[in-house]
Amino acid sequence: MVEKGVDIAPANGKLGILLVGLGAVSTTFVAGVEAIRKGAAQPIGSLTQMGTIRLGKRTDNNCPKIKDFVPLADLDDIVFGAWDIFSDSAYEAARNAGVLEKSQVEDLREQLESLRPMAAVFEQNYVKRITGENVKTGKNKMELAEQLIADIARFKEEKGCDRLVMVWAASTEIFIEPSDIHNDLEAFEKALYDDDARIAPSMIYAYAALKSKVPFANGAPNLSCDIPALTKLAEDNNVPICGKDFKTGQTLMKTILAPGLKSRMLGLEGWYSTNILGNRDGEVLDDPENFKTKEESKLSVLEHILQPDVYPDLYKDFAHVVRINYYPPRGDNKEGWDAIDIFGWLGYKMQIKIDFMCRDSILAAPLCLDLALFMDLAQRAKMKGIQEWLSFYFKAPQTAPGLYPEHDIFIQLMKLKNTLRHLKGEDLITHLGLEYYD
Ligand SMILES: NC(=O)c1ccc[n+]([C@@H]2O[C@H](COP(=O)([O-])OP(=O)(O)OC[C@H]3O[C@@H](n4cnc5c(N)ncnc54)[C@H](O)[C@@H]3O)[C@@H](O)[C@H]2O)c1
């Protein structure tokens, strides 16, 4: 046991969760929390609510629930706020998203109708396929950021929140490379005043959150807070940040399976992944510039897990292709196929096929909950900057400069749980069997 854990402020009072984007993921998340609070559903898929953590030796038989081990906000203390370019309430948005059954949405109508989105910061160039009317105007991007900062303060005051977190669950923006204006805060703020086209709306939200000392989690692959100017602002303002891109569906499967193949030293010739998806996310990603952002996020995973440089005989030059096809009949019920060509002893070839008929937002909603609760915990534990221990939740984990992201879901989980043990002053678990030694 280490001397003592970290001083964590208690989770007293209300936690406001501010959602950027009130679409399929956000409404499924909000409706789910409301249903769970009513006792009508279980928080399946949520590590914070259902997960346990072993403490001490196996023989100690001490395995509390995570939510009983670290002080997390209670679901009854959560209040929701949102921004969207459409003015539909969460009730109408949930009906449009078509993820949850109509009867379930009706049962939650009152709670969902009370969540109405604030006007969004939006730029058509970043998401070409959708146009909404609930959008802020201002003389430059700094003024838009100030409007968001005012929204945040007003929401906190009106709802009587003690603490806030912000989660980006809005559409994926077009692919952009970081450039000089993203490198330091001075250049970034000047670019806000100059209305520079290289400042994406997601960066303006992140900036507003960090200026308001609100933790920011990025559920989409766009850069947002993953630029030096904003990671520095997060450090300077003592605010935790994390991203990018919720790890659900096909990438979740990839990061479960690939570490297993590698652990047995099985080789990979190629991995072909294709999806059909018919929701609004699928429609936005049908635009090549938006898909490029997603593709970058999805492609990096295997490279990092399999380490072709370390294992050239097994993984050098494997082919990796990822496709998303917009196909409206399926709505949110994505179907993802993987054709995996592997080889074993003496180079003999084998094939694995996966057909994952998943529900995208059903997989993403519990991640929103966990991230909101863990980011709030991180802030109360005075953790700041990039929260790599939350890589578990992301396809393209944000890391400090010079570090490669950890994609192996089992290492990610161990890192997450060991971080919680560390916070509470418990021994880290290494799985080393000391009984073999004298
Ligand atoms: N569902 C998943 O499994 C999953 C996994 C990883 C990442 N994501 C990402 O999460 C995001 C949300 O997914 P979804 O299925 O809910 O999409 P969605 O299209 O149903 O919802 C996105 C919402 O964001 C709104 N929006 C767009 N730009 C905005 C802005 N600048 N400000 C405020 N609102 C804005 C849209 O109007 C829409 O209502 C997408 O970027 C998606 O790529 C989803």
Could you tell me the distance, in angstroms and rounded to a whole number, from the CA of residue 284 to the centre of ligand 1?
9
Measured between alpha carbons, how far is 148 from 154 in angstroms, rounded to an integer?
10
The whole-number pLDDT of residue 166 equals: 98
Rounded mean pLDDT, 169-178: 95
Does the fold of domain 250-357 match that of domain 14-246+362-423?
no
Measured between alpha carbons, how far is 399 from 299 in angstroms, rounded to an integer?
17
348 Cβ contact list (under 8 Å, min separation 6): none
Measured between alpha carbons, how far is 433 from 380 in angstroms, rounded to an integer?
34
Measured between alpha carbons, how far is 201 from 250 in angstroms, rounded to an integer?
27
CB distance 77 to 14 below 8 Å: yes
The whole-number pLDDT of residue 17 equals: 98
144 Cβ contact list (under 8 Å, min separation 6): 121, 136, 138, 204
Measured between alpha carbons, how far is 152 from 437 in angstroms, rounded to an integer?
57
The vertex-291 CA angle with 297 and 194, nearest 5°, equals: 90
pLDDT of 260 > 80? The answer is yes
Ligand 1: does its nearest atom lie under 6 Å from the Cβ of 291?
Answer: no
249 Cβ contact list (under 8 Å, min separation 6): 275, 334, 336, 356, 358, 360, 363
pLDDT of 1 > 70? The answer is no
Q: Assign 294 a pLDDT band (cuts: 50, 70, 90).
A: confident
pLDDT of 3 > 70? The answer is no
Measured between alpha carbons, how far is 283 from 285 in angstroms, rounded to an integer?
5
The whole-number pLDDT of residue 192 equals: 98
The vertex-264 CA angle with 260 and 269, nearest 5°, equals: 80
The whole-number pLDDT of residue 2 equals: 47
Measured between alpha carbons, how far is 60 from 328 in angstroms, rounded to an integer?
52
CB distance 96 to 110 below 8 Å: no
Could you tell me the distance, in angstroms and rounded to a whole number, from the CA of residue 428 to the centre of ligand 1?
37
Domain residue limits, the chain = 14-246+362-423, 250-357
Average pLDDT, the chain: 95
* pTM for the full predicted model: 0.96
Fold of 14-246+362-423: Rossmann fold (3.40.50)
Q: Under CATH, which architecture does the 250-357 domain have?
A: 2-Layer Sandwich (3.30)
Ligand 1: does its nearest atom lie under 6 Å from the Cβ of 277?
Answer: no
CB distance 151 to 202 below 8 Å: no
Q: Which of 118, 125, 281, 392 to mutate to test the pocket of ligand 1 (most atoms within 8 A of CB)?
A: 281
The torsion angles phi and psi of 200, rounded to 5 degrees, stand at -80, 155
Minimum-distance ligand 1 atom for the alpha carbon of 363? 3
The whole-number pLDDT of residue 433 equals: 65
45-78 tens-digit pLDDT = 999 999 999 999 889 999 999 999 999 999 999 9
Q: Which residue has a Cα nearest atom 17 of ligand 1? A: 281
The whole-number pLDDT of residue 200 equals: 98
Could you tell me the distance, in angstroms and rounded to a whole number, from the CA of residue 24 to the centre of ligand 1?
7
Minimum-distance ligand 1 atom for the alpha carbon of 280? 19
Measured between alpha carbons, how far is 264 from 22 in angstroms, rounded to an integer?
43
327-354 tens-digit pLDDT = 999 888 889 999 999 999 999 999 999 9
Token pair listed for 78: 């959560």
Q: Assign 435 a pLDDT band (cuts: 50, 70, 90).
A: low
148-161 tens-digit pLDDT = 999 999 999 999 99
Q: Is the peptide bond before 382 cis (omega within 30 degrees of 0)?
A: no
Question: Lowest-pLDDT range, 94-103, 261-270, 305-314, 329-338?
Answer: 329-338
Q: Which residue has a Cα nearest atom 21 of ligand 1? A: 23
Ligand 1: does its nearest atom lie under 6 Å from the Cβ of 88?
Answer: no
